[in-house]
C-alpha cells in the first residue's frame, strides 16, 4: 500500500504479525487511535489511562508507560500532523478460547501522516443506521478489536455527502456515531449516551465531560431515544482524531447554526 | 511455539500477516475449524458451503473451491488426525471501517495434528456461564472473528473437570456451548436453539439436523430456556472437531446414562 504506516511491533521495526495471534483469531485485544499534533501524541495521559482501563476489562497485560514512551521515541520523527494507532492483543497461546497463563501480549504502534482537517467549521451530515447494536454490558465502553458492527454499519451507505451514521441499540436508545461519541445540547445541559450496554467510551468524550463540568456546565450521561436527539438544540460528535464537530443535518432535520459547539471546541482543545 | 501449526497464506508457505490487516484491526473476517481424519478434511463440502454463506453475510469475497483445493494439496501430507482452520479476512484497505472496493481478501489455512479423542463415551460436565450473549441478528449464525464473548465466557472457570459452558442470551434463552452447538432430546424430539439473534450455526449442527430428519426423527430449532434444558431427557453438544458428545452433568443435574446420543453419533459420523 502506498500509504502504509510506519509500524513498530513489540518495539521492533517490523510490520508483520504471527497469523495465529489471538488478536486476529478472536479479536482478542484493544486499541486506541490518537491524533498526532505538532509531532506529539495529543492527550497522551488520557489515552494511556484508557488503554490500561480497557486492558483491565479484558484481563490483558497492558504495556506500561515507560515501554510505550520508548516506542514513541523509536518512531521519531513523528509526522507534524498525523494519527497513531496503538493495538494490544493477547498474543500467542495454546489453541482455543481459553486465555493463556502467562500471557505474552503483543503491542503494535502504527503511525501515519494525515491531511489537515479541511473546513473544520462545516457541520456534519448524518444518517441513522439500520443496524442496531447488540447490548453487551461485559464489553460496553471498551474499544476492543471486535468491530464488525461498525464495519456493517459503515457499509450501509456510499453517498460521499454523508459523513457519519447514528447508531441505536436493539432497544432504540441512541448510542454513538460509528467513529465517535455523540453529545446533544438541550435545556442548557450537555447530554451524552450512558454506554452501559454498548458503544465505546472515548477519550475525547471523557475529556469533554470533565472540562465542561469544570467550566460550570451541566453534563449528564443518560439513555435517550432518537426523538430526543432530533429535538436537541445542537448535536455534536467527538473523537480523538477530529475533536468535536457539530452536526448540521440528520435526514430532514437541519441545524443551520452552531449553538454551544464553538465554546465546547475551545474547552476540548484547551 | 513448539506446536505451531503449518500455515499457508494466500497459497504461500508463510506464517505472518500484515499488521494492518482488517482481520486484526476489526475482526473483519470469518473462519472454519475442520477435523482432519484419515488425512482428509472431514465434511469438506459442508464446510465450503458454510464458508461461502458466512462470507456472503459479511459481503466478503470467498475463495473458490478450486483455490482451497489447491491450498489443501500444498499442505500435503496432512496429519492422519488433526485440525484445520480456514480464516478469510477482508485484507488490507484504506484506514477506517469503510469496506474497500475492490476487496483483497486474505485466506489463511493452518493445520496441526491433534491427539485422538480419549474416552469419547465419557459424558461432558458443563457449567452455566455468567456472561450473557448480546443479541445481534446481523451477525447471528456467522462464525466471524469477533469472538471476545467466547473468550470472556471461557475465562470464567479454571476447574479442569468442567468441559464446557452453556451460553444464554440477554433474554435468558439458551444459545449454545462456548465451543459448540447444543441439542436436547425431549418428548422424542431433537431440539436445538434457533440462533436467530446470536450464536454460530455450525456445520455439525446442520448436518445432524439434516441426517436426523432423513432418519425420520422429529427435529426442531426453537427458543427455550435453561429450565427446559435441565428437564431434557438428554443434552448433547456438537462441533466439527469432536462430533457429538453427550452431557453427563450440569451443576446438580446429572444424566447418568446416554439416551438417544449413541444413535445420533452413528448418524452424524455415517
Rounded to the nearest angstrom, the gap between the alpha carbon of residue B101 and the centroid of all alpha carbons in its chain is 30
**pLDDT score for A260:** 97
Residue A246 CB contacts under 8 Å (≥ 6 apart), including other chains: A123, A124, A234, A235, A236, A255, A258, A261
Give the largest Cα separation in chain A, rounded: 56
**pLDDT score for B2:** 40
Question: Which CA distances in Å does A58 have to A74, A107, B152?
Answer: 28, 15, 7
Question: Which CA distances in Å does B49 have to A250, B86, B179, B237?
Answer: 40, 13, 20, 22
> Is residue B118, in this structure, part of any structural domain at all?
no
- Decide: A78 and A24 in contact? Cβ < 8 Å: no
Q: Give the number of other CB atoms < 10 A from CB of residue B230.
A: 14
Residue A154 CB contacts under 8 Å (≥ 6 apart), including other chains: A165, A178, B96, B97, B98, B99
* Claim to verify: residue B208 and residue B103 sit in the same structural domain: no
Domain CATH code at residue B85: 3.30.470.10
Q: pLDDT digits over B125-158, tens only?
A: 999 999 999 999 999 999 999 999 999 999 999 9
Domain-ending residue, one of B86, B113, B140 = B113
**pLDDT score for A122:** 80
The SS3 call for residue A164 is: strand
pTM comes to 0.97
Smallest Cα distance from B215 to chain A, Å: 33
Rounded to the nearest angstrom, the gap between the alpha carbon of residue B213 and the centroid of all alpha carbons in its chain is 21
* Claim to verify: residue A74 and residue A166 sit in the same structural domain: no
Residue A225 CB-half CA count within 13 A: 4
Question: Which chain A residues are Cβ-neighbours of B131 within 8 angstroms?
Answer: 138
Domain-ending residue, one of A58, A82, A113 = A113
Q: What is the pLDDT along chain A (270 residues), one digit of tens a residue?
A: 345 789 999 999 999 999 999 999 999 999 999 999 999 999 999 999 999 999 999 999 999 999 999 999 999 999 999 999 999 999 999 889 999 999 999 999 999 999 876 555 689 999 999 999 999 999 999 999 999 999 999 999 999 999 999 999 999 999 999 999 999 999 999 999 999 999 999 999 999 999 999 999 999 999 999 999 999 999 999 999 999 999 999 999 999 999 999 999 999 998
Domain-ending residue, one of A60, A87, A113 = A113
* Claim to verify: residue B138 and residue B105 sit in the same structural domain: no
* Claim to verify: residue B136 and residue B250 sit in the same structural domain: yes
Asked if A20 is an interface residue toward chain B (Cβ–Cβ < 8 A), one would say: yes
- What is the interface pTM, i.e. ipTM, of the complex? 0.96
Contact call for B27 and A145, based on CB within 8 A: yes
Question: Grid coordinates 517490523 are at which residue?
Answer: A14
> Is residue A224, in this structure, part of any structural domain at all?
yes
Interface test with B, best of A20, A154, A165, A169 (most B CBs within 10 A): A20
* Claim to verify: residue B175 and residue B101 sit in the same structural domain: no
Domain CATH code at residue A248: 3.20.10.10
Contact call for B154 and A17, based on CB within 8 A: no
- Round to whole Å and give the CA distance between B196 and B214: 24
Contact call for B152 and A138, based on CB within 8 A: yes
φ and ψ at residue B246, rounded to 5 degrees = -85, 155
**pLDDT score for B237:** 98
* Claim to verify: residue A107 and residue A221 sit in the same structural domain: no
Residue A42 CB contacts under 8 Å (≥ 6 apart), including other chains: A34, A35, A36, A240
DSSP A24: H
> Is residue B100, in this structure, part of any structural domain at all?
yes
* Claim to verify: residue A253 and residue A192 sit in the same structural domain: yes
* Claim to verify: residue B206 and residue B241 sit in the same structural domain: yes
* Claim to verify: residue A14 and residue A71 sit in the same structural domain: yes
Interface test with B, best of A4, A19, A138, A157 (most B CBs within 10 A): A19
Which three cell numbers mark A259?
Answer: 449553538
If one counts the domains in chain B, the total is: 2
> Is residue B119, in this structure, part of any structural domain at all?
no
- Round to whole Å and give the CA distance between B140 and B126: 23
> Is residue A175, in this structure, part of any structural domain at all?
yes
Question: Which CA distances in Å does A86 have to A143, B19, B172, B180?
Answer: 11, 11, 36, 33
**pLDDT score for A2:** 40
Q: Which residues, given as ranges, of chain B have pLDDT below 70?
A: 1-3, 117-121
CA-nearest of B19, B26, B44 to B34 is B44
- With vertex at residue B105, the alpha carbon angle to CA B139 and CA B241, rounded to the nearest 5 degrees, is 60
* Claim to verify: residue B207 and residue B256 sit in the same structural domain: yes
Smallest Cα distance from A71 to chain B, Å: 16
Reply yes or no: is the peptide bond before residue B147 cis, omega within 30 of 0.
no
**pLDDT score for B116:** 75
Which residue range forms the structural domain that includes residue B89?
A: 6-113
**pLDDT score for A116:** 75
> Is residue A76, in this structure, part of any structural domain at all?
yes
Asked if A81 is an interface residue toward chain B (Cβ–Cβ < 8 A), one would say: no
> Is residue A57, in this structure, part of any structural domain at all?
yes
* Claim to verify: residue A80 and residue A204 sit in the same structural domain: no
> Is residue A118, in this structure, part of any structural domain at all?
no
* Claim to verify: residue B130 and residue B262 sit in the same structural domain: yes
Amino acid at each position: 500500500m502506498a500509504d502504509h504506516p510506519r509500524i513498530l511491533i513489540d518495539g521492533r521495526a517490523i510490520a508483520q504479525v504471527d497469523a495465529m495471534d489471538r488478536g486476529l483469531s478472536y479479536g482478542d485485544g484493544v486499541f486506541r487511535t490518537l491524533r498526532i499534533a505538532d509531532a506529539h501524541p495529543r492527550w497522551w495521559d488520557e489515552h494511556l489511562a484508557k488503554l490500561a482501563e480497557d486492558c483491565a476489562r479484558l484481563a490483558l497485560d497492558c504495556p506500561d508507560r515507560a515501554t510505550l514512551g520508548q516506542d514513541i521515541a523509536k518512531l521519531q520523527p513523528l509526522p507534524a500532523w498525523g494519527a497513531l494507532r496503538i493495538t494490544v492483543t493477547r498474543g500467542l497461546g495454546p489453541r482455543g478460547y481459553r486465555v493463556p497463563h502467562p500471557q505474552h501480549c503483543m503491542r503494535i504502534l502504527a503511525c501515519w501522516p494525515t491531511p489537515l482537517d479541511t473546513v473544520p467549521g462545516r457541520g456534519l451530515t448524518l444518517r441513522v443506521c439500520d443496524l442496531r447494536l447488540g447490548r453487551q454490558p461485559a464489553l460496553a465502553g471498551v474499544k476492543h478489536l471486535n468491530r464488525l458492527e461498525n464495519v456493517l454499519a459503515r457499509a450501509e451507505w456510499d453517498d460521499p455527502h454523508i459523513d457519519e451514521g447514528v447508531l441505536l441499540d436493539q432497544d432504540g436508545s441512541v448510542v454513538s456515531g460509528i467513529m465517535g461519541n455523540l453529545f446533544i445540547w438541550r435545556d442548557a445541559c450537555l447530554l451524552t449516551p450512558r454506554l452501559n450496554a454498548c458503544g465505546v467510551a472515548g477519550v475525547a468524550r471523557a475529556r469533554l465531560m470533565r472540562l465542561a463540568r469544570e467550566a460550570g456546565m451541566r453534563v449528564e450521561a443518560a439513555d435517550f431515544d432518537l426523538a430526543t436527539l432530533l429535538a436537541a438544540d445542537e448535536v455534536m460528535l467527538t473523537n480523538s482524531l477530529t475533536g468535536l464537530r457539530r452536526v448540521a443535518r440528520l435526514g430532514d432535520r437541519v441545524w443551520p447554526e452552531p449553538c454551544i459547539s464553538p465554546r465546547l471546541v475551545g474547552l476540548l482543545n484547551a
